[in-house]
Structure formats: structure tokens, C-alpha cells
Amino acid sequence: MGPTKFTNPKIDFSFVERVAVLPFENYSNDTAAAARVTRLLVTELLATGAVDVVEPGEVNAATVKFGANRAQRPSTEQIVELGKTLGVQAVIAGAVLQSEVLRSGSAGVPTVTVDAQLVETESGAIIWAATHTEKGSVASARLLGNEGEPLSVTTRRCVRRLVETLLK
């Protein structure tokens, strides 16, 4: 199953030249999952060349300045202020819903679910939203008798597929 995607037909994405990736929320038991997804998303966005991305340290400093809680998504008012401060047309916010290795017989199957939204900073309207679940390969694990694909590889593929839906 591919990503579930929403694109706001009332907003033209082409005006977005610079974005800020906010720290993702984490609803999984994997304590490093949100930081991993946030970092991978920055890299994947930069790799496309489609948008400029604000350096994560600058984003963190701005969220602290406006009293945004790192554990939850900023309010619409805070998003508008972040847009002005960081000079961005949009922010990307989201959450890691699942990040774990599920057992399939003797093999482990890494499974990652990420939900993300691109929010324009003038009004706080959602431009794009997507959710995707990615499962790692168990074929190599069963064949070779090992743990199979690392969770980080599955996470990277999940994030890449989300970014692909943003650019289509």
C-alpha cells in the first residue's frame, strides 16, 4: 500500500521556496524515532533541490523563542510567527506513529509509519499532508537467517516516499 496523500487544490505549491522542518512528534516506543525522521526529512528535501531548508538548529532556537513545545505541534499563530522569523513560506510538521521491529517467525520486520503536513506560514493552511507505512524486507532475513534490514533503512525509505508524494 502506498502513501495516503492530500494536496490542497486552493493553494499553489510553487510559491514555496524555503521551508522549516519542525521537530517531529513521537508516538512510538522508539525514543530516537522522531529525531531520526526529522533529520532524514531535511536531507531528503535538500537532495531534491526543490526547496531550501532552514538549518535545524535555527528552527529549534526559533521554536524555543516563541514558546512552542518541542513535544507538540505549534499553534497556527506560532507557525505564522515562525514563518516571519525564519523567512519561510511553509513549515513541515508531523509525527512518527510507529517505529518498531515486528517478529515474523524467527525474522524481524522493521515497520515505520510517518504522518507529515506542509503548512503555509501566512494563514496556517495545510498545503499537503501524507501518511505512509513502510515495512522492511524479510526475504533476506529468512534466507540468510539474520535480522534483515535495519530499522534506519526502512525509515529512510519511508521518508523518501513521503517526499516523493510532495513533489508529484
* Confidence band, pLDDT 50/70/90 cuts, at residue 1: confident
Q: Which amino acid is at 60?
A: N
Instruction: Specify the pTM.
Output: 0.90
Do the bridges between strand 52-53 and strand 18-21 make them parallel or antiparallel, or are there none, so unpaired? parallel
Output the pLDDT for position 162: 96
* Domain spans, the chain: 4-167
Rounded CA-CA distance 147/97 in Å is 22
Q: For residues 22 and 73, is the Cβ–Cβ distance under 8 A?
A: yes
The sign of the torsion formed by the CA atoms of 135, 154, 136, 164 equals positive
Architecture of domain 4-167 in this structure: 3-Layer(aba) Sandwich (3.40)
The predicted-structure confidence for 54-88, as pLDDT tens digits, reads as follows 999 999 999 888 776 666 788 899 999 999 999 99
pLDDT higher at 136 or 37 = 37
How far apart are alpha carbons 60 and 42 in whole angstroms?
A: 13
Residue matched to cell numbers 539474520: 146
